[in-house]
Chain A
């Protein structure tokens, strides 16, 4: 017992003060892309050609649902028309809002009044990994550690879909997980939410159009929150969850 107390003293209190205090992210962190179409040289297609996931469209638009945040576009851009900012806030409510152009990203809005009164103070989620590579899973899991203490927001991951208010889905939805995902969704009582995490769950990611996958969660289920990234930073996920609940 004494050695545990001693260890506890040494380890100290380590829970992030977020959202009261803004997080400091690594200087090389690649967050929200900042686009400046005016800087694009005429007929330049370097970023389109460099993008591994075909996230960039004509006229300099980036589909954050497909973006891997690899930075390949910014590296090849001769004029600095694309750069990745430190902004970790990326979550949106609608698929079309994921397409970023020169206007500001329409960040996720809170649930309607009725849903908020149901889920706002206690949200239980069942996580389903459907072809995820264990990076989105790991950075979702980390939210339950002492560093983040997700429980203080009333959000908790539960073992049974019967205990859950919704699903949090990672992975491109592999064909081999399709039926298990559907069954898990069906086992959650109405009303229920679906949260999609990471490029794979948003669009299929790098695996898009493989015959072995379904190109993301919203191809098979209605999605209420889209969280971009490959994988999203834990702060990106937490920001999305808290926005959905109207907590920030």
Chain B
């Protein structure tokens, strides 16, 4: 059991049998824990660097990071597998995409997995140069037969300026019986590129693995490196990181609320929020020169300070944007034609949200009280709590309204941080990362929980770096939300989740 942003020596990690591992994960999830990460690493790469005994070439060590929201603890389990093991998914749906990923990356077969399809359509990490990757998008899509059943295929190139992915709908007339989402088009090979680091490229991979979540992922990385170095960023840096993370949330939530309005043809809010989103991005640029926060976060602290004058300008802009966004967003709730489209569309019950392990606003909109800032606080959130915003109806309205509640609380947090910004340095020099250790770092990004797990080798270099973007948990939620909906509601449902393709595809 460890806390968020802490490291432990790898050899203190209990190595259990695969049966115990399986039972423990299933029981823990049954008792309310969530799978934050579940991944494999070749035992040889972990052990050869640690200078331990020789191990069989094909042994893969599985790691599961289980989050206990109520007690703010993370349980880490590990086991050794060779070839195959009985799948967890039939008894634990949360594991479903993780096990597919495990099979795709390392060839470890989860026996009895009901849906063992490619996740990102790349070669197994263990195969040679000459072998070809599987053809993208070629898989056995689930299909329904019957009179008047038809199939709709959309993507990878979509109508708007958005990332690519493929959606396959099984429809009966206008009604969607099933949606299958097949991704991988954005795969850039980030995780393998991180092995052997950190180096001068590492931070930039973090900033661009999901570019709209630059602050979120860069902060998760920085926290992990600080945990491995046994040191923390100075308080002033932590406050500035908090401000940047909430500005990122404010910009994206504002953009999403505008886009939701746009999807149902309610143009006033769509127009205003499209612009106000830019105002929040420009506030981030005021801090560091980049609208997306590129170059702000660095392991050890932040690279840009903000003096009195800059903070005053930030606050002025914040108050103006708050006024504008309040006016723009409240139009939504006061307009019956908007509410008629938002309410009862794309419902996810709390039970389904829990089963799938949804995170972020999508989970909170189904009434799940789950927020890393509150449950596993790190950085400034240990001192300045943000209440968890939930709504119980699980529909598009709830996902929109939770964003609005969060946006208001983010702005209040930023305002408070500006007024109480701690004095002092903005960066500490980090010692080298501890060797043969494992660190877990969680951050509540605007889409939900980001989990980074770093395992170091004998020299303190990364022998494994696992990234779990919130979208990895939530794409299945969108598929389920579309069941028994009209296909014309897809854009609205999709926008109400607004998930990352590149964060998923890595």
Contact = CB atoms under 8 A, between A and B. Distances in A.
A211 B324 contact: no
Interface stretch (B204-212, B221-229, B460-468): B204-212
Interface stretch (A99-107, A108-116, A137-145): A137-145
B213 to A, nearest CB: 9
B289 A26 contact: yes
Contacts of B187: 131, 174-176, 212
A172 interface: yes
B230 interface: no
B211 A7 contact: no
Interface string A138-155: 111110011100000000
B185 interface: yes
A128 interface: yes
B200 A50 contact: yes
B291 interface: yes
B328 A30 contact: no
Contact of B186 (A14, A131, A139): A131
Contacts of B255: 138
Contacts of B295: 30, 70-71
A26 B285 contact: yes
Interface in B249-308: 255, 268, 271-272, 274-275, 277-278, 282, 285-292, 294-295, 304
A207 B163 contact: no
Interface in B355-406: none
B208 A130 contact: no
Contacts of B328: 7, 11
B275 A131 contact: no
Q: How large is the interface on A (under 10, 10 to 19, 20 to 34, 35 or more residues)?
A: 35 or more
B106 interface: no
Given A134-B212, A207-B188, A212-B188, A28 B285 contact: yes
A146 B331 CA distance: 18
A240 to B, nearest CB: 16
B157 interface: yes
B189 A177 contact: no
B21 interface: no
Contact of B291 (A139, A172, A180): A139
A120 interface: no
B339 interface: no
A29 B287 CA distance: 10
A180 B156 contact: yes
Given A159-B159, A176-B185, A28 B288 contact: yes
Given A11-B327, A180-B156, A210 B188 contact: yes
Residue with the greatest number of chain A CB neighbours at <10 A, chosen from B133, B161, B203, B205: B161
Given A28-B289, A127-B161, A184-B157, A133 B210 contact: yes
Given A11-B272, A14-B275, A135-B211, A176 B189 contact: no
B324 A131 contact: no
B289 A128 contact: no
A56 B292 CA distance: 24
Interface in A216-236: 230-231, 233
Interface in A1-44: 3-4, 7-8, 10-11, 14, 26-30
B261 to A, nearest CB: 12
Interface size class on chain B is: 35 or more
Nearest to B123: A211
B349 to A, nearest CB: 30
Contact of A135 (B120, B160, B208): B208
Interface centre among A50, A134, A161, A233 (most CB of B within 10 A): A134
A68 interface: yes
B210 A134 contact: yes
A142 B285 CA distance: 15
Given A26-B286, A28-B285, A70-B294, A157 B161 contact: yes
A134 B211 contact: yes
B131 to A, nearest CB: 11
B286 A131 contact: no
Contacts of A196: none
B60 to A, nearest CB: 22
Given A72-B200, A141-B161, A133 B211 contact: yes
Nearest to A145: B274
Given A175-B133, A180-B156, A213-B188, A132 B290 contact: no
Contacts of A126: 157
A206 interface: yes
A145 B164 contact: no
A41 to B, nearest CB: 21
Contact of A53 (B204, B271, B324): B204
Given A26-B289, A176-B136, A132 B331 contact: no
A179 interface: yes
Interface string B156-193: 11011111100000000000000000001111111001
B11 interface: no
Nearest to A175: B133
A3 B331 contact: yes
Interface string B298-328: 0000001000000000000000000110011
B292 A231 contact: yes
8 contacts: A7-B328, A52-B201, A70-B204, A138-B292, A157-B161, A176-B505, A177-B185, A177-B186
What 6 A-B pairs have minimum CB-CB distances, sorted nearest first? A133-B211, A135-B211, A28-B289, A145-B274, A212-B189, A159-B159
Interface of A: 3-4, 7-8, 10-11, 14, 26-30, 50-53, 68-72, 126-142, 145-147, 157, 159-161, 171-172, 174-177, 179-180, 184, 200, 205-207, 210-213, 230-231, 233
